[in-house]
Each structure stands twice: as C-alpha cells, then as structure tokens.
Amino acid sequence: MKDSEGHLKLGAAAETAEERKGLLWEEGEELYTTEDDIIPPSARSAHRRRCCIASLLIALILAAVLTPALYYGLRTSRPVADFDSQKLRSNGTHMFKKTSLIVSIDGLRASYLDRGLTPHLVAISKKGLRAKSMRPIFPTLTFPNHWALMTGLYAESHGIVGNNFWDPASRSEFHYNRVESCWNSSWWYGEPMWETAERAGLITANLMWPGPPVTRTGSEPTYFLPWRNNVPMKEKHDQIMEWIDLPLEKRPQLIMAYEPSLDQAGHLTGPVSDLVNRVLGEVDQFAKDIHDSLEARNLTDIVDVVFVSDHGMTDTSHPEWLYIDDILGDGFKALEHVDGWPSMGLRFSSKVNSTFYHNVLLEAAAASDGKFDVFTHDTMPRRFHFAGNERIAPIYVVPKVGYALTDRVENGTGMSKGNHGYDNAETSMHAMFVAHGPFSSVIKAIQKSDNSHFFKRFLSRPNKGWHSTSNDTYIMETFQNVEIYNLMIKLLGIESSAAPTNGTKGFWDKYF
Ligand SMILES: [Zn+2]
C-alpha cells in the first residue's frame, strides 16, 4: 500500500492483509501461499501425521533445553552490592572501610542541571545515577528539608515545621538563625543518620549540615564543624579530604557537608540570573574537585558520593501581592503569631472568634480564583503530611507560585527576587539527586543484566521506576526526599540499626 506521495506504508499493508485474510477468506481472494496449497489432498492426511510427530519432537527438545535455562536464568547471579560496614578494602596503599559522603547544595533546583552549566555534575551522574528530580517535603524550606534528609521524616513527624514557628507547648519560638533555638536539641525530633551510624559504631563527621550539634538523646557526630557564612568551597573540599586522609581508626565512614552559596544567589537575583549561573558553575567545580580527589586516591570503588539539594527556587521578582491585612480587616490585629513564609501559619488571640476569621479567609480564597488556599489540620492536603503536630499553626494560608503574602506595612519589602516554600508538587520547588560510587556501578550492572536477560524482559515490566537513555545515563523517576535516610543507611551497611522513618519500606530494593 502506498500513501498519496507514493511511499510504502508497511504497517498499514500488513494490517490490511491480516484483516482481509480474516474477514474476506471465503470470497476466494488467496493472500498467502500455504503448504496445504501445494500438497495434493490425498497426501494431506499422512503429511499431517508426520507434521504432528515432528512438532511434538521439536516441542519436547525445546522444553528439555529451555526449562533449565529458564530456571537457572531467573536465578542468574546478579551483581551483589557489598555493604559490609566493617570489611576492609584496599585502595592500593591503605585500608578503608565502606565510606559514604552526602553533600547538600542548598537551593539547587532540579532543572538547573539542564542548563548546560554543570558539565561535571552531569558527567558524575552519567558514571552513576541521577533522578529526574527529588520532591522536597512541605513546606519547601531549608530547615524542614535538611532535617527530612537527615531523618527520613516529614515535618509533622520531625517537628521542624518551618524556618520559624511558634511552639504552643513550650510557649517559645523556633528561629533558624538564632543559636538558642536552632542549637537547642529539644526542638529536633527523629534520629538523624549520623546518630544511627554512631549507634552502629561508625565514626561520623558533620560539616555545617543544618541541624543541632547534639540530638535529644545526647548523640553527637564524632567531628562537627558549626555553620559559618562565606566559607570557600575549596576549604570545605580540603576539610572533607582531611577526614578521608585520617588513619583508619580515626577516619569517618559517614561525612555530611553543606554548601549554601547557590541558595543565597537564587534569593538575591532570582533563579534565572547571571549570578545563579555563575555560582552554579562554582558548585559544579566543587563537585568535580571532590570527585577528582577521590579518583586520585583510587577511592571511587570504596566511597559513595550522594549530591542532593533541599528544594528548588522560583522567580519572585514581580509576584502578585496578597494583602493579608486587607483580607482579615480587624482580625489582622488579633494575630498573635505568624509562622512560615511565603506561606503563613496563623494563630489568633483566644480573645477573638478564630472560626469567624477562618471563614473570612476561605471566602477570600474562593473569590481569588485560585491565587491561594486556606487549610486547617483537617483540610490540609494529605500529600503534605503536615497536620499531625501542634507546632503547625491551626490555620495555614498557602499562596500559589506567582503570588506572595504581605501586609500594607511591609508591602513586600521582605521579598527577595527568588524564593521557595511553595507547594512541593511544583516542579520549580523540586530538588536534585546525583550519586556516584560503588553502589551506582552495581545498580547499572544489575540494570544491564536484567535488560539483557530475555526471560526477565519477557516476564517483568522493564525499567520499572527508571529508564536508561541512549548515552547510558540512568534517570530515576522523581522520588520523595524522605527516602534518602534509608539509602545512606543501606550504603553504610547498618540497616539493622535503622530508625523508623516515613520512607517507603523496600524503596531501594528494586535498585540493588
Ligand atoms: Zn535551602
């Protein structure tokens, strides 16, 4: 069959032939020459018997050959990841225990990796693994998310429900940059991965990861360097390598490091700006330097490196302002505590009828045509996992991307050109995940062995949860950052010591 331009349309021809054979057979239009057609009718019966016996023999031979192949094929030994935390491994000159490094690049929006400005991070992901994006927890803010990465818990479980919020139980306010609250362990629930690792007998090192130096139970990392602003990335790289170069009995097996400069640039000039692009190049070089230094020490088969971020960034240089005092009228003066931002958690004075003002807000949200939502603990979207904690204000106003809350006094003066904190389903809020090391080599080997195995391809849906592209990069589907705790615990070989988390049981099993 040919189309109007005379090109052969093979698919259509085959399809039409099938239809004609099935539907128009009796009209005598023979389409296929079969063996039956060239054998005289008298010889057909004997011929059919011979065919039957031959077919049976072939089937028996095939069954004899393929059954063991199928049986053993399905049990073919896949590459096995070696997660023994105490086993000694040699880099050629020294003995090492399994070591994992997690680095957070604050505010690295997932789509930044597609700007062509991070060749090294992309190259590392090609050697290892990258996710399309990593979904932060709500609210998409630095402190709630860094603690979610550390503990595998949503904000309602780990208690850091914002960068600043009021706690009615202790009648005090948490503020992320006040040492008296952010270093006070009583605020921080859940078990960070370094506490689990220390419990399991591992040495750990914390380079400025947002969180307290000591947990509620009194656990602290072996090495701890507190937050300081404007620390050059070169200094952080050198510190990480100093730890790696320690003698075996002093060397940390879990290293956590934090870098804030990209987030600071994003706030200052917005996600689409020369400054962000420049700093993006600098953090990319930081990633390369870490990778190169590990390679120079022949450690790429011993040390796993996981690069993550806490959230993305959206342009807020010209938001449409929503004036909360205009909406609330007299109720604005009755606000005792306002949490969050760019969302607002509202606590009204007990002297006023907060139900009345809740209804005022609901009516304003309905009239706004989707510019913002108003939630209580009962109406909060379940996917936020942001209700079961009294630290979460009883009324939460959540603007959509493109909108921002302010009042007539502030008049938007506090807003930077870029911001985050919005709905965690927004792709601009999504974080990145890039990892490389012995574990990713095993993952790739498993994927290749699975894909090359006919029966596995036949029996299972290929590429479940990820796909490989032509240039051999494995891109995982977007996943929630509460899974990271379990990844690191698995890499360190200390799963038997793992604390309970909000991560999905067995989430990483399909990759190992
Ligand atoms: Zn952040």
Q: Residue 106 C-alpha to ligand 1 middle, in angstroms?
A: 5
Whether domain 320-415 has CATH 3.30.1360.180: yes
The amino acid at 145: N
Whole-number pLDDT of residue 475? 87
The residues that are catalytic are: 142
**Coil/strand/helix, residue 185:** helix
Residue 142 CB neighbours (<10 A): 23
Residues 6+ apart with CB under 8 A from 140: 311, 312, 420, 421, 422, 423, 424, 426, 429
Is residue 422 within 8 Å of 401, Cβ to Cβ? yes
Helix axis angle for 261-269 and 274-296, nearest 10°, is: 170
Residues 6+ apart with CB under 8 A from 237: 286, 289, 290, 293
Q: Residue 312 C-alpha to ligand 1 middle, in angstroms?
A: 8
Residue 352 CB neighbours (<10 A): 15
Q: Residue 344 C-alpha to ligand 1 middle, in angstroms?
A: 18
Q: Residue 398 C-alpha to ligand 1 middle, in angstroms?
A: 18
d(CA 149, CA 165): 20
Q: Residue 257 C-alpha to ligand 1 middle, in angstroms?
A: 14
Q: Residue 114 C-alpha to ligand 1 middle, in angstroms?
A: 20
Beta-strand runs (E) in 196-235: 204-207, 223-225
Nearest CA among 345, 354, 350 for reference residue 377: 345
- Helix, strand, coil tally for the chain in percent (to 5): 40, 20, 40
Q: Global pTM?
A: 0.83
Output the CATH code of domain 99-153+192-315+427-510.
Answer: 3.40.720.10
Question: Which runs of consecutive H residues, i.e. helices, occur in 297-437?
Answer: 324-328, 354-367
d(CA 178, CA 185): 13
Q: Residue 199 C-alpha to ligand 1 middle, in angstroms?
A: 28
Whole-number pLDDT of residue 78? 60
Provide the CB-side half-sphere exposure for 206 (13 A, CA).
22
Q: Taking the chain (512 residues) in consecutive chunks of 10 residues, what is each chunk's mean pLDDT?
A: 35 32 31 33 52 65 55 52 87 95 98 96 91 97 98 98 96 92 94 98 98 96 96 98 98 98 98 98 98 96 96 96 96 95 95 97 97 98 97 98 94 90 98 91 71 52 50 81 97 96 92 76
Q: Residue 112 C-alpha to ligand 1 middle, in angstroms?
A: 15
Q: Residue 356 C-alpha to ligand 1 middle, in angstroms?
A: 35
The vertex-293 CA angle with 290 and 298, nearest 5°, equals 125
Q: Which residues pair with 166 in a beta bridge?
A: 173
Q: Residue 242 C-alpha to ligand 1 middle, in angstroms?
A: 26
Nearest CA among 3, 354, 342 for reference residue 141: 342
> What is the enclosing helix (H) or strand (E) of 374?
strand 372-375
Per DSSP bridges, beta strands 433-436 and 372-375 are unpaired
Residues across the chain = 512
Q: Residue 108 C-alpha to ligand 1 middle, in angstroms?
A: 8
- Compute, in degrees rounded to 10, the torsion defined by CA atoms 44, 45, 51, 57: -170
Task: Show me where the domains of the chain are located.
Answer: 10-75, 99-153+192-315+427-510, 320-415
Is residue 372 within 8 Å of 404, Cβ to Cβ? no
- Integer angstrom CA distances of residue 349 from 336, 340, 353, 398, 508: 6, 18, 8, 21, 47
Per DSSP bridges, beta strands 479-480 and 204-207 are unpaired
Nearest CA among 310, 300, 291, 301 for reference residue 240: 291
Whole-number pLDDT of residue 214? 96
Q: Residue 277 C-alpha to ligand 1 middle, in angstroms?
A: 17
